[in-house]
Amino acid sequence: MNAELTTPVLCDDDAVFPGENWFYYWKTSASLWKAKLEQLPMGAILYVPLNWAFHSHHGEGFDFGGERPETQLAKLVQLAAESSVKLEFLLPLAPAPFLPNGGLPPYLARVAATDFEGINQGCFDAFDEHQLLFSFFDSRVFKGFAQFVHALRSYFDREKLSVGIRGIDCGTVTGEQWHSFFQDYSHVYEQAFTRFLAAKRELWREEGVTIDNPGHEKLLHEEFFHTIRQLYSQEAKRILGDFWEGENTLNFLGGSRSDFFKRLSGQESASDYIERSLTGITLGVIPSTVLLPTRNKTGILNRFLQELSPKSLYSHFGANNDFIENNSYTPLVLFELYGSTPGRYESLGLLDFIHKRHTYCLQKDKLEDFIHQEDRESDERFYIFEGADLDQKKFSHILRLFLNGANIILDKGSLNVELRARFETFILENELELDHYHFGPEVSWAHLGEGNLVVLDFRDVAELSPNAKNNCWQRVFSLNDFKALDVELPDGVFQFWRRRFPTPGELKFHEVRRLGIFNPHSYKHKFKIPMNRSFVLTKIIDQVQAEAKTVNEMIELEMGPHGSLIFEFGVLE
């Protein structure tokens, strides 16, 4: 980790405001709340995680101000309103690593949650203290959780509070995946799973179904995990009613098992945290730094976090978009990938193409979420689908999206016969002309208004050489007016793109994009970024140990150790 010249000293504010505008109300006296809130800028959004154990220490009823003034949430809401701060409560729906016992009251913290390899789950908090996480598969925990949420709802009703509660699933990104701390392999989990399996077997027996697929047990574990995880979520949503503001998934930096060992060894690295934050963004997961000690949130990591602005992502990734203003930046997404076949997009060379040229400008989503989300972004992103995942309803949804002006890439190779026929009819009904190209595989392209529909057989792409795959995707994305800069950076240097709508003074631009470049390592890098005519460089800001100059439609960059800078571009129509 990059050491600063002066060692930051932990002050009371760090304990109360651990990061991303979070506020730990239980860490300070209620008499100081007003002074703390007055430090925040007017209009700021304050996220207040609910500490179940703090309201239910003895297990005999719930305290919301009767015994300890620090449990009086109504007072906090009132003070926030007086300070013109918008407040939102966060309700953990999984073990919360920033709280003792993962947030469970001591009388319910009985069985430690264990990971895949039998190691008790836990991590170091911002104060370098280890916090163990306990199993949420214990039926007593679920019962206690429901009682707490009921008590919370009654309290909010009684106090006539008009403030939202957002559910948070807590976990961490490792590799390319996000793992919830809810995941557990303890004996309590095993017992519950055994009961689930017995019920399933009974059902299969009644239905005359025989299951002898060896991979089936793993699928059943996944089904059971999601069922129980959803149980917490649905219960909270049902009880909280209008107070419920939707859910976010959080990626706690410093919360993984390898982080545990690295924290033990003093080997934390800014590079690691940056990479995992950005990977999380592609999975729709918000990074949280509340587990990181203040001494680590300095230098390059601090500059990266300033640019990433995790606190702005709660609304962006959440169900409620009330707080997204037109002139605020959101992560740039050029590709939205949907596919259930493991490793599918890797085998097509598509992820490699994106990683090399448009790193982290992608989002991987579940098709179920796609269908349920009615308002799609109308920017130039490509929505990419595997044919095998589609049924009539989903297919119709995709075609409607194309008619509304979206860019679609569709795998026709694995479409079933009915959907192929449906596709042919759609082309005829809408009098679309299909242009055919040979980019290795045959590619068909139809366009209507702003919308582009590109159809190809993914199996043909999979058979190409790595170079041919790359060329194929390059040509596919060039079919329409794809506005993006190809930015290939040296290994270990990170890029992060954001976009926003133009302000009234920028109306000649279609949108404004920001490119942050971060070198967390101690060696220098020199490289070039080719410009194109759609991009006008308007600003270079926050240059630290970095030099940039424009030469012959190229930006020449020299990044020093731990250097970073941010470019702002206007994108022309």
Partner 1 sequence: MKRKELILVAGCPHFGHGQWNLVAIMDQGQHYLEENLDEIYYEAFGQKSELGDGLGPFENLEEVEVFGLGLCQSFGKEGFRLLTAQEFNELKINGLAANEFWNKVREKGKWVKSLNSSPRSKILRRIFN
Distance of closest approach, residue 97 Cβ to partner 1, in angstroms: 12
Calpha distance 410→429 (Å, rounded): 19
Pick 256 or 277: Cβ nearer partner 1 = 256
Q: Which is nearer to partner 1, 70 or 115 (CB)?
A: 115
For 347-388, the three-class secondary structure string (H helix, E strand, C coil) is HCCHHHHHHHHCCCCEEEECHHHHHHCCCCCCCCCEEEECHH
**Interface positions, 260-289, toward partner 1 (CB under 8 A):** 261-267
Site residue total, partner 1 (CB under 8 A): 30
The least distance separating partner 1 from the CB of residue 103, rounded to whole angstroms, comes to: 13
Which residues from 155-214 bind partner 1, rule CB under 8 A?
Answer: 174, 185
Distances (CA, A) of 386 to 337, 348, 358, 366, 424: 9, 11, 21, 12, 18
> 378: burial class by Cβ within 10 Å (0-12, 13-18, 19+)?
exposed
Shortest distance in whole angstroms from residue 177 CB to partner 1: 10
82, 87, 295, 301, 538 from 562: Cα distances, Å: 41, 35, 16, 9, 24
Instruction: Kindly tell me which of 44 and 220 has the beta carbon lying closer to partner 1.
Output: 220
Least separation, in Å, of the C-beta of 207 and partner 1? 26
Q: How far is the CB of 337 from partner 1 (least distance, A)?
A: 24
CB of 116 to partner 1, least distance (A): 5
Stretch that binds partner 1, among 38-46, 71-79, 112-120, 407-415 (CB under 8 A): 112-120
- Interacting span for partner 1 (CB under 8 A) from 88-96, 254-262, 399-407, 557-565: 254-262
Residues 121-160 that bind partner 1 (CB under 8 A): 122, 124, 128-132
- Cα–Cα distance measured from residue 555 to residue 150, given in angstroms and rounded to the nearest whole number: 58
For residue 10, report the phi and psi dihedrals to the nearest 5 degrees. -70, 120
Q: Which two tokens stand for residue 245?
A: 């503001």
> Measured from the CB of residue 176, what is the shortest distance to partner 1 in angstroms?
13
Taking the CA of residue 445 as centre, how many other CA atoms within 13 Å lie in the half-sphere pointing to its CB? 17
- Among candidate residues 244, 82, 129, 103, the one with its CA nearest the CA of residue 181: 103
- Nearer of residues 100 and 561 to partner 1, judged by Cβ: 100
Nearer to partner 1, 128 or 542 (CB): 128
**Residue 83 or 183 having the CB closest to partner 1:** 183
Half-sphere exposure of 382 (CA within 13 A, CB side): 25
In the bound state with partner 1, the residue whose beta carbon lies nearer, of 116 and 204, is: 116
214 versus 504: smaller Cβ distance to partner 1 = 214
Cα–Cα nearest to 273, from 250, 248, 296 = 296
> Residue 231 in contact with residue 224, Cβ under 8 Å?
no
Residue 63 identity (one-letter amino acid) = D
Site residues, partner 1 (CB under 8 A): 100-101, 112, 114-120, 122, 124, 128-132, 174, 185, 217-218, 257-258, 261-267
